[in-house]
Chain A
Amino acid sequence: MTLTELNTDEIMTPYPDKVKKNRKKHIVAKTGEAASCPQIEANTRTVPGIISQRGCCYAGCKGVVVGPIKDMITITHGPIGCGYYSWGTRRNKARADEKTPPEHLFGTMCFSTDMQESDIVFGGEKKLTKMIDEVVEIFHPRAINICSTCPIGLIGDDLSAVSKAAEAKHGIQVLHYNCEGYKGVSQSAGHHIANNQIMERIIGTGTDELEGDYIINILGEYNIGGDGWEIERILKDIGYNVNSILTGDSAYVNIKNLHKAHLNLVQCHRSINYIAEMMETKYGTPWLKVNFIGVEATIESLRDMAQCFGDEDLISRTEIVIERELAAISPELERYRKICEGKTAFAFVGGSRSHHYQYLLRDLGMEVVVAGYEFAHRDDYEGREVIPTIKSDADSKNIPELHLEPDPEMYEEPHLHLKMSKEKYDKMVEMGKLGNYDGMYPDMIDGSVMIDDPNHYETEELIEIFHPDLLFSGVRDKYISHKMGVPSKQMHSYDYSGPYAGFRGAIIFAQDVANALSTPAWKMITPPWEKDETGGDE
């Protein structure tokens, strides 16, 4: 069927009326007729029992944002499960470097207060205090994170008091995050809570003098499978100084100096736009939405960055590196493109990749026909211009908003960060280059579908209707997809491969996708005794 003929009512036949009414608002088809993105409902509570792919606030805070900070010990305060499941399962790679020796890497460890019945009854503050004492004595971390889980909020443990006392006792920062799993409606609340603490407590406390002309931070890049390192490699070759990648392979000692950078790059808008905005308010640091997933997208991002600094030398070095990298990958990319060309895919990922990977797939001649986010907000679908019209509902209004003022000593006008004239800066803002994100909708092809918080039933139905050649999703969908006869690649964990970012990443991705499509076993599903007389597969 053509995609614009998608009849959502028909898909939703088995739904009870209330569910039908709810879910219809979460699906939008792109048609040539609509000039701008129709409103999509997003970031609202999950329908109970619907088999959503969503996780929780703790996962968004500990699992995504603060867990990867490599030289901090993150203690999960709760029963054992939450710490256990988020132990080593997200592939945010980290390694030692000149500022962080191997003894300060804690990424392969899991720390949990392992609350017992008595801790629920009598409170877990004492146990947490004791665990902090022990962890400091054994590991001497530079700083500690405490992440709370569901029961903490209910039993009323005062993490603020525990952290404060521990800071006084040990002379290191102890941050706490009230990221109980039931807060908000998804992982997204956890991103916000993590952003607030990092902004309020860590950023701006560093006094290092950073050297170099083009000092940047890469925000919302978690170095899955080494993505951040590939991006860093390219940027360093061009001449940028990467202060910190937030938070893939990041170190507490570097995050302290985040405010010293001239420009913030935002890769994952959903998880880190809070810090990007708050840093602009407090320090005047401008931010640029980039996308290093896809060859063309990477090139465009590099050119946008060069324009931000406006330096002729930088612009020409940018072009030299682009040319060199393209020459290195093009023949191989072309080989894989021959296998992938014309294929269609679904992309059901968390809050940003469903958009970013459309560029990389397009490099391979593939198109995303249905794209879904688990927990993105309307601005990620429709663009940041809709932010003033987003109403916060009862489920999200308890997530604190920080209201910051320009720092009296450290604030500097954004154009001064970039050594650019005010006029030129304003023009770039006006063009939507700086401090802006247009969302996924403009990049979708005509007739494609955007779906928010897709569930198991809808995934199955949409696969039946559109017969995609590939499903890009998470591990819970992967094997379901296989049983349905559709190859599936994990777009969270990259099926333990990567990097997928930048130029070299594109080749690895292309090879992985080509292999998934051409695995000989796909043609052997029908046993020979069930083949028709012509001997062909059904």
Chain B
Amino acid sequence: MLDCVPKEPVTTHTTGKINPAKTCQPLGAMYAALGIHGCLPHSHGSQGCCAYHRMALTRHFRDPAMASSSSFTEGASVFGGAANLKTSIKNIFEIYNPDIIAVHTTCLSETIGDDIPTIIKQTEIPEGKYVIHCNTPSYYGSHITGFSNMCKGIVNYLAESDGNPKKEQANIFPGFVNPADMREVKRIVTEMGVQSIMYPDTTNVMDSPLLKKYEMYPMGGAKIEDIKDSGNSKLTLALGAWSSAEAAAILQEKCKVPGVPLKIPIGIKATDALIMAVKDGFGVEVPQSLEIERGQVIDTLIDTHFHYQGKKVAIFGDPDTVIAMTEFLITMGMIPKYVLTGTNGRKFEETISAMLEEAGIEGSKVKAEGDLFDLHEWIKEEPVDLLIGNTHGKYIARAEDVPFVRFGFPIFDRAVHPLMPVTGYRGCLRLIEMISNALLDRRDRDCADEDYELVL
């Protein structure tokens, strides 16, 4: 496996990406748009992008991922894609009848410089229907940037303040996470007795049930009237600096709803912070049910620490989820040895480095805008006990014989994960189980017969 990767460390890889740890903006925008009820995402570019993005989403979730494309030809690429977008909007409303079309762009339409707002203004939109847009140039940032940009587009077009005193309700911007994580965060906030509006919300969209009838627009997704009403909320819980912070800032600017910057609530500390933000923001008490859940995690951590404490971990993925996960790994007494994201932003390195320093962990490598070739080189130089990341990590795991925990996006080679949360206290338990099992399975596989234990 990966025999072409040199055995000795190389210093020559400075340009481009070899085995990237990110993908491009429009995928994130498409995912965010799927979190609006009755929405058809639309990709303004040549159709290959749309095919690829739908394919990647559908492989991760094992659920339909609907979207349309402007299907640029060479002519449109030279003279502009306005006609293609106008035709698309007409065709989509007549044939597929969504409540809203959410347009994003690709490197093609961005390089040409198509002026989307002007094209939308020139297009006839049926009564009561919406067309919103965001710009998602693939040559800047990553799919997480694209997710954030669509969140900003939703706020720009839809959120409104009616000028009345703010309602006792929270907005939740969940970040680029699975539907199960969105559901878990909503549950926690609901458990605290606080009303919430979440968007994007892909629960019951990308984890939809198989019922007797197919619905092109599944029952889930944030409703347009709720998104509009988010301008009247008391505060916004902005989960993830990369995924949600900018949309929250726009909402604050536009509708005077203060944004509370939080981590995506993976791990105890990040979940604690979410609960404290709700408690402080709304003056509510934390119910005993959540206290029990938290206590179960602490109990489990103490019960199982010897399964994983002191083990060295390599972790890669998207910045918001990796930052929170790294914090949890430190909580577990593990050593994040290599921490890498493909997405840009110095703040990633600063945040992780500060956490490691606070925990007194030295000699770790941290990198933003890195790739899996970098990570593999590091592992070859000094091995780790565990690798945590998306499906693409399985090749390194096999080549270097490292136990592997699948975490993040995309996971193409296992099922059920989009339906199981890694957020909240319940998510902590699932992560502990996955990490413990990976390490214990390896111990069971590798140990001598006489060391093979019944009880571990």
Contacts and interface: CB of A to CB of B under 8 A. Distances in A.
B166 interface: no
Interface string A130-158: 11001101110000000001110111000
A103 B56 contact: no
Contact of A57 (B23, B48, B64): B48
A154 B16 contact: no
B212 interface: yes
Contacts of B214: 460, 480, 483-485
Contact of B55 (A85, A109, A181): A85
A525 B108 contact: no
B111 A48 contact: no
B64 A181 contact: no
Interface stretch (B71-79, B250-258, B274-282, B435-443): B71-79
A182 B51 contact: no
Interface in B24-80: 24, 26-27, 42, 45-49, 51-56, 58-59, 62-77
A329 B330 CA distance: 56
B139 A79 contact: yes
Contacts of B94: 14-16
B203 interface: no
Contact of B139 (A55, A59, A104, A115): A115
A51 B45 contact: no
A45 B69 CA distance: 13
A123 to B, nearest CB: 12
A470 B168 CA distance: 51
A46 B58 contact: no
B363 interface: no
Contact of B3 (A102, A130, A138, A538): A102
B234 interface: no
B19 A109 contact: yes
B51 A483 contact: no
B122 interface: no
B107 A395 contact: no
Contact of A130 (B15, B88, B412): B15
Interface in A196-249: none
Nearest to A45: B73
A526 interface: yes
Interface in A92-143: 96, 101-106, 108-117, 119-120, 127, 130-131, 134-135, 137-139
Interface in B342-369: 342
Contacts of A476: 51, 54-55, 58, 64-65
Contacts of B106: 150
A344 to B, nearest CB: 19
Contacts of B112: 154
Contacts of B84: 48
Contacts, number: 256
A139 to B, nearest CB: 6
Interface residues of B, number: 82
Contacts of A14: 94-95
Given A19-B91, A182-B108, A55 B140 contact: no
Nearest to B101: A49
Nearest to A456: B66
Contacts of B395: 108
A485 B214 CA distance: 8
B4 A79 contact: no
A56 interface: yes
B73 A475 contact: no
A75 B20 contact: no
A335 interface: no
A82 interface: yes
Interface stretch (B6-14, B147-155, B319-327): B6-14
Interface residues of A, number: 90
Given A16-B90, A185-B73, A398-B74, A475 B55 contact: yes
A47 B212 CA distance: 31
B84 to A, nearest CB: 5
Contact of A479 (B49, B62, B76): B62
B341 interface: no
A83 B208 CA distance: 30
B138 A50 contact: no
A137 B92 CA distance: 50
B52 A109 contact: no
Which residue, B10, B56, B69, has most C-beta atoms of chain A within 10 A?
Answer: B69
A105 B17 CA distance: 18
Interface string B211-246: 110111000000000000000000000000000000
B348 to A, nearest CB: 17
Nearest to A458: B95
A85 B77 CA distance: 22
A56 B46 contact: yes
A16 B91 contact: yes
A168 to B, nearest CB: 20
A366 B82 CA distance: 46
A395 B2 CA distance: 40
B52 A49 contact: no
A250 to B, nearest CB: 17
Which residue, A106, A130, A137, A138, has most C-beta atoms of chain B within 10 A?
Answer: A138
Given A48-B88, A185-B73, A154 B108 contact: yes
A59 B17 contact: no
Contact of A182 (B1, B19, B42, B77): B77
A110 B17 contact: yes
Interface in B84-99: 84-85, 87-92, 94-96
A79 B56 CA distance: 17
A82 B52 contact: yes
Contact of A49 (B46, B87, B111): B87
Interface string A474-508: 11101110111100000000000000000000000
A131 B17 CA distance: 9
A78 B51 CA distance: 17
B137 interface: yes
B71 A116 contact: no
A84 interface: yes
A485 B58 contact: no
A79 B64 contact: no
Contacts of B42: 49
A52 B64 contact: no
A117 B140 contact: yes
B138 A457 contact: no
A35 interface: no
B108 A150 contact: yes
B91 A131 contact: no
A526 B46 contact: no
Given A78-B107, A131-B15, A150-B46, A395 B73 contact: yes
Given A112-B17, A120-B139, A55 B51 contact: yes
Q: Which 3 A-B pairs have the closest CB atoms?
A: A56-B48, A81-B24, A49-B88
Interface of B: 1-4, 6, 10, 12-20, 22-24, 26-27, 42, 45-49, 51-56, 58-59, 62-77, 84-85, 87-92, 94-96, 106-108, 111-112, 137-140, 142, 208, 210-212, 214-216, 342, 392, 395, 412
17 contacts: A16-B94, A46-B69, A48-B70, A48-B91, A49-B68, A56-B49, A59-B48, A81-B23, A83-B20, A85-B52, A85-B53, A87-B19, A134-B16, A154-B108, A457-B96, A479-B58, A525-B212
Given A79-B137, A115-B107, A181-B48, 16 more contacts: A47-B91, A49-B88, A54-B51, A56-B48, A79-B138, A81-B53, A84-B20, A89-B55, A89-B412, A112-B16, A113-B15, A114-B20, A120-B107, A134-B13, A483-B211, A485-B212
